[in-house]
Structures are given as structure tokens and as C-alpha cells.
Chains A and B, each alone.
Chain A
Amino acid sequence: MNQRTPWSKPILTPHRPGGMNKFGALRPQLHQSELDGVAIMPLLEQYGSPLFIVSEKRLRENARHLRRAFSTRWPKVRHGWSYKTNYLGAICNVLHQEGSWAEVVSELEYRKARALGVPGSRIIFNGPWKPAAALEQALLEGAALHLDHLDELFAVEQIARRLGKQVPVGLRLNFDTGHTEPWSRFGFNLESGAAMDAARHIGASQWLQLTGLHSHIGTFVLDVRAYAQQARIMAEFMETVERETGCRIEYLDIGGGFASHNALQGLYLPPDQVVPSFEQYAEAIVAALTDATRGRAALGKPLPVLVLETGRAIVDDAEVLVTRVVGGKRLPDGRRAAILDAGVNLLFTAYWYNHDVRPLQPSEGLAEETVLYGPLCMNIDTVRASVMLPPLNLGDALLISPVGAYNNTQWMQFIQSRPAVVMVMQDGSIEPVRLAETLQTLTDPERVPEALRAPFPNPSPSR
């Protein structure tokens, strides 16, 4: 009997001039079958597809890298883990074990941090809405509370008066760095004088004590000069409020926004060439801060603690999403399309990133321009609008990365259940850190009134 040739789907790829950029970027690796030395396919078979996989090792390495970059340059550094970026309990506790505080922006997140065992005194409480009960709990438990607006300031003052004790508070500031789009909707504006008005009110209150300043200049900020200017402006404001109100600022919290190694849509250059390293961010920030606080030692004033709320750059490349091809078609313009079992329901960040996509198994054959669609019955469910991929067969698995930031908090349960998340532990073992949802997850909180229990209460010939 003749030896038969292995089959791969027929493809015809047009030759197009150009395409490659002048840096001749090549895909360093055409497939990825392991994560931290652990084979991925058996995990997919055990836990089902799609599947999120987190690397404990990478998470710890990133946290240590950030800390090292800053603590070798500034004497007192604190990291607050941004819960909204990914608040899976296992991920939060890896970072807490690395010394990070919890940075929360809602009552739900505050309660989640407390439920994980984080003491209130290691929680940074941001956000535009903190209900009265949450404010009181945070004050009683010694959280670092950052005031967003005057109503909140007055609410906190009232609670402190009722408790009969003076409470430390921080002020969230907003201002124009000249390098980023100003985020004026959060905190007190500096240029208009609103921040100074708030500081003066706090200074005059017997129930409040201003001990910290906070600001967050944006997200995926690629220009380190923006942070240098932020540090300079905050340090100058610190000197002004200390002089005018007699307070002592203990910390400057510069928020988050460091970019991760993800390819932002619309950017020409690959992430490796545009995303600053932690060292580059640290150098710019600490140089500006050192310059702006030079006079403090002579006055006997201690240097403030530098607080970072880095989220995305810590967790993004510590997690991947594995998905299977569930269908394929040829679009009218000749391009190939593949339908995946994971779409924007799980990959919210597909709206603004061109994620890296590579097959799990080596695949022979010519790469072809491919559109990757998710499983949703929605036209906007596109995982990649254009990506070069080798021949794809039904059931083939693809690995999408980096996906650690925002997807496990902003994913939605729309016509599909959310899948399992597993963690590859440092010792190579596997731990499920979130179980796959079931139909029960969807229906448990629902209540169907007695009169509506039967969908067809009066059996009759079908209409």
C-alpha cells in the first residue's frame, strides 16, 4: 500500500510587496507548547477549552523586578497591587507574599482584600465612590484613604467627628503633565486651586490630618517624561501644602499606568521597542523626585515614601489564554477566518491590543493572513483582525498572550460561561485558581415566580 501524505488544508497565499517593517521583525518562535516547562495540551484536555493559565514564577519575578528597579534608587518604596487589574485571590496573594499592599477602588474590592486576610492597614483605598459604611470601616481599620471629591471629604470628616478621633487622609490630585491626556474626572484639580482649597480645609479641621498625596496620570503611558513631570509637580505641591497648612506628607503615591509588553493597536513599532523597562521608568521618576526634594534634608524633613500602584506591567505577561479552533471559513475577500471558542467575552483587551497568537503545536505549511473571530453572535467579536498563521484545522489549539491584565475582571458572561483559570506553581505543579462556570452559576441567583415556573402551562397542539 502506498504511503499517504499528511493532509493540511489547501491554501493559496498572494505575494505582496512590503509588509515587513524596516527592523525586519521575525517571529521568534512559531509555536508554544509549554509554559514554565509544563506541557499545555494535557491541561487543556483536563480543564477544557478555553483555559486561562497563570505563571506564578513570572508573577513573582515581575513584582521583584519592579521593587528592585525602584528600591535601588529611592530609600522608601511601597507597591500597592491594583486589584482591578486582576483580583483572582491566588494572584493577589502571590503579590501580597511579595510584599505588595492591596490597592482597591470599590467597597467590593476592599471586602475582597479583607476576606483574603489583608489587614486594613495594608490597603490603599481609591475610587470615586466609597459608600459611607466602607469609609467608616476603612477609617477604623487604618487604610490609606484617598479622597476623590469634596462630598467624600465632608463625609469622612463627619465620620471622624462621630468616632471622636482625628484620622489620616490622602488627597487625590489631577493636573496636566504636558505629556499625557489629563484625567480631570478623578480627584482635586491642581491648576484650578481646588486641590489647595481641599488641603486648607483639611489643615483647618481638628478631625482630619493630611498625610499623603496621590495621582494617576493615565494608562499604558509610554513616555517616561510624563512620570518625571508628575513626580516634580506632586513634590512641589507637597512643599506648598506642608508650608501653608503645617501638615507632614508621609507618602507620594504616583498611581499606575506603566505599559506592559503588549502590542497596542495603532502603534507601528513592536512592544519590545516602545515599552520602557521598569528601570527606565524608575530612573526618570526618581531623578525628578530627588531633584524636587533636595532641600528637605536640610530642613530636617524626611523623604516621602514612594508608592506605586503598578498593575498591568506586573500581571499581563504572567497569564495566557488557550483556545481551540471550532470552525473556519473563507471570507468573500479571500481571507481565511477561524472561529475560536474564546472571544471578546473573555478577552476584553482584544479591543485595544493586537495580542500575540501562536499555535500550540508545530504546524507545517505556509502562513496565511487570518481573521480570528470569537464564538459570540456579535459582529464586534474579533480577537485579531489580521494575523499570519499556518494552516489551521478544526480542534487546533492557539495560545494568546499576554492576557493577565483586566481580562479576568472585565470578562463577561454573555451566552457563554467563563472558563477555568489554572496556575502553574513555582514547583511545576498545577492548581486550579478559578473553576469553570456552569449553567448553575448563571441560574443560581435567579428566582422564577411560581406563576412562571412552567414555560408551556397549557399543553396544546403546537402553533
Chain B
Amino acid sequence: MDNNQDRQGKSLELPKPENLMRLALSDSGFVFDPVSGNSFSVNGSGMAILRRLQQGTDLTRIVASLCEEFEVDALAAERDVIEFANLLRNTFR
């Protein structure tokens, strides 16, 4: 593991997988939260991140797999995952 990966792993608080596990997701981008009763739309990259977080994947692996699946470099992906993880953490408590 290089320094950058080490830094990522320690510094980011990911949403709790159990809070995300309760969400009902559809491939078309529909998200339903049975606890709050709220529904959401999520785009393709958001869905990819959400599914990985549900499985408890760590940031390093999420970024690496996003770079394989999408036309994005690691830095841009990391920046967007950090921001999106924060949004998920605050939305699904």
C-alpha cells in the first residue's frame, strides 16, 4: 500500500454499511429509504458508489474499481467519492 492509499484509508469516515443496507435500490436509479419514507434518484456513478459502500468496500478499492469501470482518473474519483460519502452519511443516519 502506498502512502496515498494509507492516507485515504485512515482519514475518511465512510457511511455505515448497515445504514445503507436498508435502502432499496433499483437499477434505474431509484432509491427508497424505509426508515424515513423518502425516495431519491441517483445517477450511474452514484449508484456504483452506493452499491460498493453497501458491501463495506473501503475507499481505496472503491476508487480503483471506479477507475476500471468509468472514464475517470483516481484523483477526480477520490474527490467525488469523498463528497458523495459525506452526503450519504448525512442523509442516511
Residues of A within 8 A of B (CB): 2, 4-15, 329-330, 332, 334, 365-366, 391
Contact = CB atoms under 8 A, between A and B. Distances in A.
Interface residues of B, number: 30
Given A7-B72, A8-B44, A10-B43, 11 more contacts: A4-B69, A7-B76, A8-B43, A9-B84, A10-B49, A10-B84, A12-B40, A12-B41, A12-B88, A15-B38, A330-B87
B56 interface: no
Interface string B26-68: 0001010000001111111110110000000000000000101
A75 to B, nearest CB: 60
Given A5-B70, A391-B43, A12 B87 contact: yes
Given A12-B91, A329-B83, A334-B90, A5 B69 contact: yes
B46 A4 contact: no
Contacts of A15: 38-41
9 contacts: A6-B70, A10-B45, A10-B49, A10-B84, A12-B41, A12-B88, A15-B38, A15-B41, A329-B83
Given A330-B86, A334-B87, A334-B91, A11 B71 contact: no
Contacts of B86: 330
A2 B65 CA distance: 13
Contacts of A332: 90
A362 B42 CA distance: 19
Contacts of B39: 14-15
Given A330-B86, A330-B87, A4 B40 contact: no
Most buried by A among B43, B49, B72, B81: B43
Nearest to B73: A7
A11 B68 contact: no
Q: With a 10 A CB-CB cut-off, give which of B38, B46, B69 has the most chain A CB atoms.
A: B46
Given A12-B40, A15-B40, A6 B71 contact: yes
Nearest to A329: B83
4 closest A-B pairs by beta carbon, nearest first, are A10-B46, A7-B72, A10-B84, A7-B70
Nearest to B76: A7
A2 B68 CA distance: 9
Given A5-B70, A5-B71, A7-B71, A14 B87 contact: no
Nearest to B48: A10
Given A334-B90, A334-B91, A8 B45 contact: yes
A46 B72 CA distance: 28
Contact of B42 (A6, A10, A329): A10
A334 B91 CA distance: 8
Contact of B45 (A2, A9, A329, A330): A9
Contacts of B48: 10
A365 B90 contact: no
A4 B91 CA distance: 29
Given A5-B70, A334-B90, A14 B40 contact: yes
Contacts of A365: 43
Nearest to B81: A10
Nearest to A365: B43
Contacts of B84: 9-10, 12
Contact of B46 (A5, A12, A330, A334): A12
